[in-house]
Amino acid sequence: MTGDRQPVTVRDVAVLGMMTALLEASKRLLDNLPNVELITFLLIMFTLFYGRRVIAAALAFTLLEIAWWGVHVWVIMYLYVWPVLILITDRLHRGLRERGETPTPLPFALLAAVFGLLFGAMCSIPYLFIGGPVMMITWWIAGIPYDILHGVSNFLICLVLFKPVHKALRRSAALFVIAF
Amino acid sequence: MQNNKKLILALAAIAAAILVMVGIYRSFGPQTSAGSKSYTLEVMDDLEEVKNYSGTTDAEVLKDLLDELAAQGDFSYEAEDGEYGTYILSVNGVTADYSQDGAYWAIYVNGEYGQYGADSQPVEDGDAFRLVYEK
């Protein structure tokens, strides 16, 4: 399922398009709740089944967000934070597979929690270049309450939804196999 | 058993990380103080027309001060809560739409560009705030 060598097919594009649509719909759904989001969870789940090519869906999602909201500083952040999450998830998943283990909710809920807690720190990097280290650190510290909310909500969402969504994706992945 | 141990350790590490973050925020985050504080507020709109306000307030953050001013009637603003705090959309009926033309309402505090959103910007005695329409 994760060869990464085969050429991209029309079916791949269609599946990645569906992923992007789900990411965007979930973002709109929870837009009113600051830093409570399903993107982290969905990207982790997609990566478990479709590997690193999910980065294409994450980038398409970022493009849609730009089309909707315009170009802001967070665009730069989105361009690297989501791919980083996908690469770490893929590495963790490969590690589990090498040991013959199947994915269980808790390790990925922990990953989602850490990602949420570090989200502000990761997103503060552009401010290093905009206003220097003081601005970067000030910006990160001011957002810490949001980061804690982000980490805790990511953990709970992943813990609760992992099993049912994993089951649903396992079924659909059998129908929509993409060339990995 | 070994896995459970690892997971308990991981959970404990995350709880510890949250505690450290709370500590950092309390020590170095935006500091506020209660009490009667004097302030001035200058609003410069898209036509560079200036309107000045001044008074005293018990507001701890700028957003509360703006709400107090709005309740007095001679000032209005609209804002939305984003991922990293309150973002001012319009002041006295002048809307800055970043997605249209790159315009935004900038916050200045005592002559310096504000480091925080309106909901985090502390209000100190004698503060001079400016809300400036910028592109």
Average pLDDT estimate for A121-133: 90
Average pLDDT estimate for A13-23: 92
**Predicted TM-score (pTM) of this structure:** 0.68
For B87-98, how does the pLDDT look when each residue is reduced to its tens digit (9 = 90+)? 899 999 999 988
In angstroms, the separation between the Cα of residue B18 and the nearest Cα of chain A is 7
Question: Positive or negative, the Cα torsion across A13, A15, A18, A23?
Answer: negative
Cβ within 8 Å, pair A141-B99: no
Task: Please list every residue in chain B whose beta carbon sits closer than 8 Å to the beta carbon of residue A155.
Answer: 14
Task: Please list every residue in chain B whose beta carbon sits closer than 8 Å to the beta carbon of residue A111.
Answer: none
For B29-83, how does the pLDDT look when each residue is reduced to its tens digit (9 = 90+)? 877 655 578 889 999 999 999 998 988 888 999 999 999 889 888 899 999 887 6
Closest of B103, B126, B127 to residue B116, by C-alpha? B127
B53 Rama class: left (phi>0) / alpha (psi -120 to 50) / beta: beta
Average pLDDT estimate for A94-112: 92
Q: Is A114 a residue whose pLDDT tops 50?
A: yes
Question: Positive or negative, the Cα torsion across A112, A113, A114, A116?
Answer: positive
The larger pLDDT score, comparing residue B71 to residue B132, is at B132
In order of their start, the domains of chain A are 10-175 (1.10.1760)
- CATH class of the domain whose range is B37-134: mainly beta
Q: Place A165 in a pLDDT band, splitting at 50, 70 and 90.
A: very high
What's the complex ipTM?
A: 0.78
Cβ within 8 Å, pair B14-A72: no
Q: Is A155 a residue whose pLDDT tops 80?
A: yes
Task: Please list every residue in chain B whose beta carbon sits closer than 8 Å to the beta carbon of residue A146.
Answer: 83-85
Mean of per-residue pLDDT scores for chain A = 88
- Report the percentage of chain B scoring pLDDT > 90: 44
Q: Place A9 in a pLDDT band, splitting at 50, 70 and 90.
A: confident
Domain extents in chain B = 1-30, 37-134
Q: Place A63 in a pLDDT band, splitting at 50, 70 and 90.
A: very high
Cβ within 8 Å, pair A145-B24: no
Q: Place B8 in a pLDDT band, splitting at 50, 70 and 90.
A: confident
Where is average pLDDT lowest: A45-49, A85-89, B49-53?
Answer: B49-53
In angstroms, the separation between the Cα of residue B52 and the nearest Cα of chain A is 28
Distance CA A128, CA A137 (A): 8
A56, A16 contact by CB (below 8 A): yes
In angstroms, the separation between the Cα of residue B57 and the nearest Cα of chain A is 23
Residue A5 confidence (pLDDT): 59
Instruction: Name the E strands within B65-120.
Output: 77-82, 85-91, 94-95, 104-109, 112-113
